[in-house]
Amino acid sequence: MSAAEPRRIVLFRHAKADWPQVSDHERPLSERGRTDAAVAGRKLADTGISFDLALCSTATRTRETWKLAVHELAHRPKTVYEERIYEASPGELIVVLNELPDEVRNVIMIGHNPGVHGLAEILSGSAEGDARERMHRRDFPAAGFALLTCDEPWKSLEPGVATLTDYWAPSD
């Protein structure tokens, strides 16, 4: 990869979860969620991005989403299960991304709303475009993902420095 190529960040919301009598952290995917996670994985594969790293919340539904989606990718990236992603604000998620080593070019973060939606909004600033309109119209549903590009090093990642280049939701 040339130094001129931007960094890519995919913010991936977990697929639809079930509501059994367990703690929120332990909620599993629903049947529809399992189907949508695999479909999202195929759409992620269609982007052609080879991820260097996956950062996944420790919640059961995010781990299950990633397990189903990653099987669809041509290359399985190193996966780090990060407790700080669960119930994180956009600012807390930026802190996690700021800690990434410079050699990581393409990262996928599997997390939760409202954090991932807020982070996509904040990183892309006030930019307009088709992807942003689709993201607003669908309100970042379960199994949706946003693709952002950024020319800054991870330690300089802050509001408004990225470009929202694509957005996908299961209803697309």
Are 51 and 36 within 8 A, CB to CB? no
Residues in the chain: 172
CA pair distance 125, 120, nearest whole angstrom: 9
> Residue 132 corresponds to which amino acid?
R
Are 43 and 35 within 8 A, CB to CB? no
DSSP 17: B
Q: Return the H-helix or E-strand segment holding 106.
A: strand 106-111
Name the token pair of 137. 């119209």
For residue 61, say whether it is annotated as part of any ligand binding site. yes
> Residue 88 corresponds to which amino acid?
A
What Rg do the C-alpha atoms of the chain give, in angstroms? 15
CA pair distance 18, 6, nearest whole angstrom: 37
**Which residues line the annotated binding site?**
61
**Which residues line the annotated binding site for substrate?**
61
